[in-house]
Amino acid sequence: MELIIAISYTDGMELSEIEAFMTIQLVGSCTKAAEAMHLSQPAISRRIELLERKLGVPLFERLSSGIRLSEVGRAFLPHARQVLAAIEDGHAVRLLIEKLRDEQDRQEI
């Protein structure tokens, strides 16, 4: 059964919030995510709190044994992946354009 959720938010999501979400789900804890992202644990928690507030839903279930994606978090995950992939693609295009411009500049000299 596919979960369909209507998510609305008034403030735009920040890339840092999506990165924190993805890092937590990859490493399995806010503490490990903070280490991986070279941030403090409260900074990571704050990013997730802001993202969840903007979406109006919890993305993680907080357990005594740690943290795991909520049902909504699992539904949000592929969208977060797409956002980060699109940004990486955009960065790759920018690098390619810079390379082509450099080559063109060298040919003009």
pLDDT (0 to 100) of residue 5: 53
SS3 for the chain, per residue? Answer: CCCCCCCCCCCCCCHHHHHHHHHHHHHCCHHHHHHHHCCCHHHHHHHHHHHHHHHCCCCEEEECCEEEECHHHHHHHHHHHHHHHHHHHHHHHHHHHHHHHHHHHHHHC
From first to last of the 109 residues of the chain, give the pLDDT tens digit. 455 555 554 468 899 999 999 999 999 999 999 999 999 999 999 999 999 999 999 999 988 888 999 999 999 999 999 999 999 988 888 889 988 888 887 887 6
Residue 3: predicted pLDDT: 56
Q: What is the pLDDT of residue 2?
A: 54
In this predicted structure, what is the pLDDT of residue 72?
A: 95
Assigned CATH topology for domain 15-108: Arc Repressor Mutant, subunit A (1.10.10)
pLDDT for the residue numbered 11: 64
